[in-house]
A and B are shown apart, each in its own frame.
Chain A
Amino acid sequence: MDGHAILARLRERFGPAILETGDHRGDHTAVVDRARLAELLRFCRDDAALRFDMLMDLTAVDYLKFPGRDAGARFEVVYHLYSVTEGHRVRIKVPVEEDDPVVPSAVPLWAIANWYEREVWDMFGIRFDGHPDLRRLLLYEEFVGHPLRKDYAINRRQPLIGPRN
């Protein structure tokens, strides 16, 4: 399926919940309202024409002090979907506000989302509602803060942790 057709199908199904669509050099993107994200991801996976059976990537972006972007939500969670059977792909973005950094978990849809979401929680402090085991993935439990947030000072040091038994 062609990228424009994928976006058209999403717009037709979800209407105003699709806040924005666009493409950059053939990469098609849909920005989605968080309230209908879980429903949209399930539709992407299960719809007979879309059949996005693979979650290629799940990450987040912190737009704090981003040049040319003064308004809007601070974070965006980004999903890259790919269909092995159809050979097409799409990018889903969902804006997340700083004071309520929660997104529904994609683990029930794609098992790989488990570690992706743990990494996003680790680095950005965005929580995933319904995740079975939301712990830090790369850093250690004693770590304070989320280092990929833009307001995490680059020279901030964590206390050393001692050996455990």
Chain B
Amino acid sequence: MGVGLGGFFTGKLDDAIAWARKYSIFQYPFVTACCGMEYMATACSHYDIDRFGAGLPRFSPRQADVLFVVGTINHKMAPVLKRIYDQMTEPKWVVAFGQCTCTGAFYDNYAVVQGIDTIVPVDIYIPGCPPRPETVLDGLMKLQEKIAAEKPRT
């Protein structure tokens, strides 16, 4: 019974941590282009991203959990993005916000990185040029599901 109780208790603690993480998303907005306007619209009162516990952007990667890559990333910016990602502490997640970050979109040229997943691992892709705030919130909720399903490292 003791062992069973311990196993039961550990399982519930994982859930509690996952629940807390899911509703305390501190984002780092890596905003480089026009998608930033749509990101701001999502963050402001009308769509109110704070309902999902993601209302506090941190402008230091060391204080952030989720890297929002918002806008076109070119080859010259890529080393900066990689460094920002490396500076974030675990656990961390990455959201590719908009077509440019997902695939490079119509910037099929010499300057633009064809999808940021060539530089950093991506958890959620939010397509759109730019994505509507509803799409962003949908992506955010999918990220929450993903966070909630993760087990904390032991």
Contacts and interface: CB of A to CB of B under 8 A. Distances in A.
Interface of A: 139-140, 143, 147, 152, 154-158, 160-164
Describe A's contact surface by its main secondary structure: loop
Given A147-B110, A160-B118, A161-B78, 9 more contacts: A139-B75, A140-B75, A147-B109, A154-B109, A156-B110, A158-B110, A161-B75, A162-B79, A163-B83
B79 A164 contact: yes
A161 B75 CA distance: 7
Contacts, number: 34
Interface of B: 75-76, 78-80, 82-83, 86, 108-111, 113-114, 118-119
11 contacts: A139-B75, A139-B111, A143-B75, A154-B108, A154-B109, A160-B113, A160-B119, A161-B75, A162-B79, A163-B79, A164-B79
Nearest to A140: B76
Contacts of A158: 75, 110
Contacts of A157: 110, 114
A160 B78 contact: yes
